[in-house]
Every structure is written in structure tokens, then in C-alpha cells.
Chains A and B, each alone.
Chain A
Amino acid sequence: MYGFKTLLYKEILRFWKVLLQTVMAPVLTALLYLLIFASVLKEHVQVYPGVSYTAFLMPGLIMMSLLQNAFANGSSSLIQSKQNGNIVFVLLPPISNFEFFAAYLIASIVRGLVVGLGVLLVGLLFTKLDIAHPVWVLVFALLAGAAFSALGIVAGIWADKYDHIAGVQNFIIMPLTFLSGVFYSIHALPPFWQAISHYNPVFFMIDGFRYGFHGVSDVDPWLSMAVVLPVALVLSWIPLQLIRTGYKLRS
């Protein structure tokens, strides 16, 4: 158990030591989105009655940053360790497969939450934001963070070079997070794209998360939950299996 705690601590310290790059930068990026989209659209768009566009946008931005950084943490840590060869430092000790998995997963969730919290705090300088159902906020943050952390671990284990990670990031993570109702309600989309969006689990992550803040959403939060929970479990199961079989870690 102490081995797990140490690995978790080391993984958190790893991103904490380069805070500028791992936390400040993504918070700034989210802030830029907020300034641009909110200033352009706030006069023209109102998605839910009584909710300003800026307030509507905030949960989406928080969730998007959380997801992207949860993914980035595990994937970059693992690919770096594999490339430098220092992955042996965590493969030689008597750390179980599950402890190994859990340490990387939790550290990545923490990174996602820290960035998400950063976006929230900075956003509060620009708009008032109530939290109608804090429990929903927390549940969706954790489950969605776990899902993308797990994806990051899978990518980190699978990738042989940084290019592979960048590929996953640009061709899977970015489209999934952008085409999910971060910036709009999917009700504003043509029926075809609306239907497509319902196959994107990130849509449910953001919609459920948004419900936690505003108390209104495109679909029922329990439905979102019913989608996000199994997605998080299945996605977490994959890296655990990869670690168990030693795929690309133990030859």
C-alpha cells in the first residue's frame, strides 16, 4: 500500500513541478476561449432561460479542460518514462498491477481536477456562477476525469513515440471534446448532428456537469449518469488489462 501511495505522490509531484506547463497554460487557454466566445456571443445567444451565455459556457470549458488534462497527464508521463527508460524504476519494485494502474489513474484525475478548478476560479472573475447541485458536479467531474485518465494511460502504454500521443490527442480527444456541446446546446444543431452528438459520451459528461451548475440540461442527468458511469468503468478496465498482461511494458 505504501508503494502505491509513493507512486501516486511521485506522479502528482511530477506535474506539480512543472505547474506552468501542466496547469497554468491550460487555464489560460480556457480563459481565452471564455473571453472570445463570451464577448462575441453573450448578446446573441441564450441557451437556457435566466442563464447568461458566459455562465452557460463555463461548465463546458471547465469539463473540456479537465478531460484534456486528465488525458495528457497519464499519456505524457508514461511515454516519457518509456522513452527515457526510467519506467524500470516503477516496474522493478513489488507494486501490484492494480496499484500501478490506480496510482497513474488517480494522479491524472487530480491533474484534471486542479486544472478544472483553476478554470472555475478564473472564470468567476468574469461571471457569476451558481452551483445548483454540487454532488452532480463532483460525480461527473470524477467519472469523466477517470474515463479520460484511463484513455491517457492506454495511449501512454500503446504509444511508441510522442507522435502517437499527439495523434490521439488531435484526432480523437480534441474532436470528442469540441463536438460535445461545450460551446452550444446540441438543440441548436441540425437534427442529423444532434443525433450524432448523442453517440458522443463527452456530450453526456458535459451535459450532466452543466446540470450540476445550472439545474437545467439537454437531457436528464440520470440518463447522462447511465451513459458516463459504464463508459468510465469500461475505459478504466482496458488499461488495467494492458498492465496485467504487460503489454508493451514487460516484454
Chain B
Amino acid sequence: MAPAVRLRALDKRYPAVHALRSVDLVVEQGEFFALLGPNGAGKTTLISLLAGLARPTGGTAEVMGFDVVRHYREARRNLGVVPQELVYDAFFTVREMLQFQSGYFGLRRNEAWIDELLENLGLTDKADTYTRTLSGGMKRRLLVAQALVHKPPVIVLDEPTAGVDVGLRQSLWAFIRRLNCEGHTILLTTHYLEEAETLCQRVAMLKAGQIVALDRTANLLHADRDLKLVLKLDRTVLPESLSGQLVEQQGDRFVLALPEYGQLEAVLGTLRQAGVRIEEMELRQADLEDVFLKLMGQGS
């Protein structure tokens, strides 16, 4: 079974910038995969190369086993892309856009699926509305619908929830989750790391055109599994025996690293014995944001 996406030494140089540096990546069919990274890391470049909107300067990209340059027709038929920019064609209505998009993919009679898409994306009553009058969130959902008209096995979403309110975001993710359950491979980029954390089985992190982390989301989180104990004490000096665990101190606020929950009791015991009073306490687990910031080298 061909992987949903396979990149081999994929490289992209623009005149001014080396956007992607020999990236290798395999996304298996059925995965819910996130591509994370700060602005300018190369996420959109990677997607553009996959979608044929840009041409690689080195290496290859395949969608469902089809090379995106040599077998671009098959590759594109297997791919649905929700672009990041909120683009629309003001000349046409929602339904017309979906009919055109179906036609571009060679589908003649697609009304049943178009109606289902409209229904699922809450656009049914906007079907005959001109796209220019849609709100930002509706335009975003229309883009999702357009990317799905040909039921592509691989769906790429570039920042799909930017500018979509919370309620709609939930229903959008419910819909995309359903598509994933039905076997579609989902590849998404997002700035909302908690979305990636809850939705995606695997995560790749891009930095300056290179993959700096690629693992199961759980493993990535586990790699930085240290619990953080945040304490506000009645003094600014920590008992000597705890200084080895100190990660960060700001006045009377201390952040201690705990290798495991069992250590919590020992720390508290030490503090009690030293007669230190705890004013505030918080136990924090690493989330994807911590991992992300650590890898991106921010704050260092």
C-alpha cells in the first residue's frame, strides 16, 4: 500500500530564500498528521509543492504513490487542499463554485455529495448566495467544501481554523474527524497547538525548512515528560536539598522539575521540615507548546 504522502529529499529554493531543505517524510494512509512550525518554517511551501502550486528544486513528492510532477493528474485527483488564504471568486455563488470544482476534477453529476457537504459545513442556506457576501468563517468553510468535492483520499488543510469562531471550529473538526474515520488521510498545519495535540496521532515540526522533530504526538510529549511543580513560597530561598531540581526562579516563585508524581511527596516533606509555607502550588505537565518552544529554541 503506497503511503498517502511520501517526500524524498524534497528541496525548494526561491531566489531569496532556501525554503525547504531536503525534507524526507512519510505519512501513511489513514493518519491524522500535523505539520507544525513558526511562520516562515516552510509549511506552506511544503504544501504548495505537494499540491503542484510550486515546483521542487530537488527531490520528489508523491501523493498515494503518484509523483506530483510526472503523474500530476493522478496526484492531484488524490489530493484536496484547503488553502491558507481566504480566497473566493466574487463572480459566482456557493453552489456554482462547488459545481465548477467538481467539473475541474471530471465529475459530472455531483449534486448529492455537494448537498451533503453544504449540510455538514452549515452552508445549505447559503447555497445560492454570491461568495463575496459570505462572512470570513463561511468563506473558510466553502474552501473546505471545495477541497472535498472530489472525495480525495488525502486532505491537506493549511491553517483551517484561522478566523473561525469556537462553535464552528468544533463542528469543523467533528466533520474532519469523521472523514478521517472514513479513511481519509488528514495532513494539517495549524497555529493552535492544542488542536494538533488532541487531534493528531503524529506530528512533524519544521524549523527553517527542516524537520526537527517527527514522532507520535504521545512520544513527543513523553520526551519532555518532566512534571513541573510551580510554587509560590513565603521566602526567596529554597532548602538546599531541593536546589538540584530548580528549573527557574523569579523572586518567591519557583519552578521545580519532577521526574515522576511519586517525588511530589518528598518535595512537600522537605519543605514542611524546613518550615517553609506554601502560598500557591500548581502541577504542570508538558504540553505540545512546551515541546514546540523548546525545539524552536525560543527563550534560549
**A interface, CB within 8 angstroms of B:** 1-3, 5-7, 9-10, 13-14, 17-18, 81, 84-86, 88-96, 246, 250-251
Find A7's partner among B76, B87, B104, B107 (CB 8 Å cutoff): B104
Closest residue of chain B to A9 (Cβ to Cβ) is: B103
- Cα A134 to Cα B89 in complex, Å, equals 39
From the candidates A18, A84, A93, A250, name the one contacting B105 in the complex (CB within 8 A).
A93
| Residues of B contacting A81 in the complex (Cβ-Cβ under 8 angstroms) | 89
- Is there an interface contact between A85 and B105, defined as CB atoms closer than 8 Å? no
Q: How far is the CA of A71 from the CA of B220 in the complex (A)?
A: 56
Q: Which of A6, A84, A89, A92 contacts B90 (CB 8 A)?
A: A84
Of B49-57, B112-120, B194-202, the one touching chain A: B49-57
A91, B73: Cβ atoms closer than 8 Å: no
26 chain-A/chain-B pairs, Cβ below 8 angstroms: A2-B103, A2-B106, A3-B103, A5-B103, A6-B104, A9-B103, A10-B100, A10-B103, A14-B91, A84-B88, A84-B89, A86-B88, A86-B89, A88-B83, A89-B87, A89-B89, A89-B146, A91-B52, A92-B52, A92-B79, A92-B81, A95-B104, A96-B73, A250-B54, A251-B53, A251-B54
**Residues of chain A lying within 8 A (CB to CB) of residue B92:** 10, 13
**Cross-interface CB contact of B104 among A3, A13, A250, cutoff 8 Å:** A3
Residues of B within 8 Å of A, CB-based: how many?
34
Residue of A nearest to B45 (CB): A251
Distance (whole angstroms) from the CB of A54 to the closest CB of chain B: 37
Which 9 A-B residue pairs are closest in the complex by CB-CB distance?
A: A6-B103, A93-B104, A85-B87, A94-B73, A94-B76, A86-B89, A251-B54, A86-B87, A2-B106
B146's nearest neighbour on chain A, judged by CB, is A89
A94, B101: Cα distance in complex, Å: 11
* Candidates B55, B89, B90; contact of A246 at CB < 8 Å: B55
| Mask: chain B, 42-76; 1 = CB below 8 Å from A; 0 = not | 00000010011111000000000000000011101
> Which B residues lie within 8 Å of A89 (CB)?
87, 89, 97, 100-101, 104, 146
Task: List B contacts of A91 (CB < 8 A).
Answer: 52-53
CB-defined contacts of A92 to chain B, threshold 8 Å: 51-53, 76, 79, 81
In addition to A92-B81, A94-B74, 5 A-B residue pairs with Cβ atoms within 8 Å of each other are A86-B89, A88-B53, A88-B81, A89-B100, A91-B53
Please give me the residue from chain B that is nearest to A18 by CB atom: B91
Name the CB-closest residue of A to B51: A92
CB distance from A48 to the nearest CB of B (A): 44
Give Cα distance in the complex from A6 to B107, angstroms: 10
> With a CB–CB cut-off of 8 A, which chain A residues contact B101?
89, 93
Q: Would you give the shortest CB distance from A208 to chain B, in whole angstroms?
A: 35
Please give, as numbers and ranges, the residues of chain A lying within 8 Å of B89 by CB-CB distance: 81, 84, 86, 89
Taken residue by residue from 96 to 138, chain B's Cβ proximity to chain A (1 for < 8 Å, 0 otherwise) reads as 1100111111111000000000000000000000000000000
Q: Point out the residues of chain A lying under 8 angstroms from B106, CB to CB.
A: 1-3, 94
Chain B residue nearest in CB terms to A7: B104
Chain A residues within an 8 Å CB radius of B96:
13
The answer to whether A251 and B104 have CB atoms under 8 Å apart is no
Give me the interface of B with A, judged by CB distance under 8 Å.
Answer: 14, 48, 51-55, 72-74, 76-77, 79, 81, 83, 85, 87-92, 96-97, 100-108, 146
Given the interface pairs A81-B89, A86-B88, the reply to whether A94 lies near B105 with Cβ below 8 Å is: yes
Chain A residues within 8 Å of B83, by CB? 85, 88
- With a CB–CB cut-off of 8 A, which chain B residues contact A86? 87-89
B90 CB contacts on chain A under 8 angstroms:
84
- Cα(A81)–Cα(B91), bound, Å: 11
Q: Is the CB of B87 within 8 A of A88?
A: yes
Residues of chain A with a CB closer than 8 A to B48's CB: 251
| Residues in B whose Cβ lies below 8 Å from that of A14 | 91
Closest residue of A by beta carbon distance from B12: A251
Residue in chain A with minimal CB distance to B149: A93
Contacts of B100 in A (CB 8 A): 6-7, 10, 89
Give the docked Cα–Cα distance between A122 and B81 (Å). 47
How distant is A66 from chain B, measured CB to nearest CB, in Å? Answer: 23
State A251–B53 Cα separation when bound (angstroms): 7
A1 to B108, CA, bound (A): 11
**Residues in B whose Cβ lies below 8 Å from that of A90:** 104
Which residue on chain A has the smallest CB distance to residue B101?
Answer: A89
Report the separation of the CA atoms of residues A86 and B106 in the bound assembly, to the nearest whole angstrom.
Answer: 19
Q: How far is the CA of A10 from the CA of B74 in the complex (A)?
A: 23
- Residues on the A chain within 8 Å of B102, using CB: 6
Residues of B within 8 A of A84 (CB): 87-90
A5 contacts which chain B residues (CB < 8 A)?
103
A85 CA / B143 CA spacing, docked (Å): 12
Chain B residues within 8 Å of A6, by CB: 100, 102-104
